[in-house]
Structure 1
Amino acid sequence: MLNNFQKIAGVAALCEALIYITLFVLYGTVLAMPAGLDSAQKLGFLESHHNLLFFSNLLGYVVFGILLAVLVLALHERLKNGANTLSQLAAIFGVLWVGLVITSGMLANIGLNAVLKLSLTEPEQTRALWLNVTTMTEALGGGNEIVGGLWVLLISCAGLKAKVLAEKLHYFGIAVGVTGIATYYPAAGLTELFGISQIIWFGFLGVAMLRRHQD
């Protein structure tokens, strides 16, 4: 039963990487808002891409968070015998990250619907509402990755201590975690760097967890 759950978690990790890739493609192409748009044009962009934006929020936040919950529990179960304290601390931040990510997704989609509805009756207030929604979403889970970075950092340190899975994976995870924590500083490119490095880390982790033999 435990081995099956570890395999499920391995698949979840690979799915996390695929979600990141999908979102990078979407926001780099069809969901990339053109520069120089005025408020009315931005609203028109949101309206014309409403369904795709809803899907991207659902996938990138809610589905991602559900899969993350599986992974957080599986890694804690795998590491607790060799690094119990670190594993427990990592699990705390992992669960917190799950909550923040899912909350961000629900807020983003409910906020998007509210903005489009308000634009029909009070268009002058739409910009302020959308600014509030995006600010709250970014603050909770999109604009900085401190909580996620702490989880990756702690789980990687626990893996090194417990001598579970490959050392290279954990050393890379430490670098990924530090990058996530650094996103608190508003420097251009740090969030994107964390996302790209997490694609590699989730992929590496998923393959490692799907290996037939147990460490």
Structure 2
Amino acid sequence: MKLQTIGGLAGLTCAATYMFGFALLVTVLAPLGFGTGSIDARAVVGFIEGNAGLLILWNSVIYIVNALALAVLVVSIQTRLRANTPDWAAVTFALGLIWATLVIGAGMIANVAVERAALLAPTDFERAVTLWETLHAVELGLGGGNEIAGGVWIGGVSIAGWIGRSLGKMTVGLGLLTGAGGLLTLIPVLGDTAGAVFGLGAIAWFIAIGLTLILQPNNA
């Protein structure tokens, strides 16, 4: 199987992890406030006491599985772009690996937060809440609460694809919109809205880039 095809499957996997994450976010996890600026740490720790495994699964899919698939996608896109835009290919390759590293790091921190809170909660609930809040802040700083690295990479890939005519207009358009959404998460008042634009846009873009790599591969 060619790298382009593998990369396309990785792109579709990234989209699937986002869809899985959104599905739980708007159903089971909605009462806890995840994805909003008003998350209830005490409610989260209370949820962890009986559902630690579910949160670890959620974190593992949206962060760790996503990051591993993302790394493969980054390499595959780099091989596609370098034929027409070698400089852009090198830059986006570096940016993509930085994003993948931040994502997997956020996932590891998120899972440690759940594991430690689950251990502490039965004997010291308040300490468990404080610990979870602290580690969750680290998780958000790495990438769970902003999408700057992802926005820059997706936007950069889209610009390179437009310059080198190596990606279709729909993929480029979706990428530019998604990238802009990611960058706007830097503005606190726009954080939640921009994050939603980025997340939903990323699903569409990952599907578009995945299908492009599978159905219209280059010689890589």
TM-score (norm 2): 0.90
Question: Matched residues in 2 for 1:38 and 1:62: separation?
Answer: 24
In structure 1, runs of 5+ residues without a counterpart are none
**Alpha carbons of 1:131 and 1:77: their partners in 2 closer, same or farther (altered >3 Å)?**
same
Whether the aligned pair in 1 keeps the contact of 2:113 and 2:132 (CA below 8 Å) is yes
Whether the aligned pair in 1 keeps the contact of 2:56 and 2:111 (CA below 8 Å) is yes
Matched with 1:162 is: 164
Residue of structure 1 aligned with 2:204, choices 193, 197, 200:
200
In structure 2, runs of 5+ residues without a counterpart are none
Amino acid at match of 2:26: G
Whether the aligned pair in 2 keeps the contact of 1:13 and 1:203 (CA below 8 Å) is yes
- 1:60-111 CA distance string (max 9 Å, x none): 1000000000000010111012111111111111000010000000110011
Whether the aligned pair in 1 keeps the contact of 2:41 and 2:132 (CA below 8 Å) is no
Moved more, 98-107 or 154-163: 154-163
Matched with 1:29 is: 27
Whether 1:19 and 2:21 are equivalent positions in the alignment is no
Percent of aligned pairs with the same amino acid:
32
Whether the aligned pair in 2 keeps the contact of 1:31 and 1:49 (CA below 8 Å) is no
TM-superposed CA distance for 1:157, in Å, is: 1.0
**Alpha carbons of 1:85 and 1:105: their partners in 2 closer, same or farther (altered >3 Å)?**
same
The aligned length equals: 213
Amino acid at match of 1:75: I
Residue of structure 2 aligned with 1:51, choices 33, 48, 53:
53
RMSD: 2.0
Matched with 1:153 is: 155
Residue of structure 1 aligned with 2:175, choices 173, 176, 197:
173
TM-superposed CA distance for 1:189, in Å, is: 1.5
- 1:132-174 CA distance string (max 9 Å, x none): 1111111111110000100001111111122112123113211
Aligned residue runs from structure 1 range 45-84, under 5 A: 45-84=47-86
Matched with 2:7 is: 9
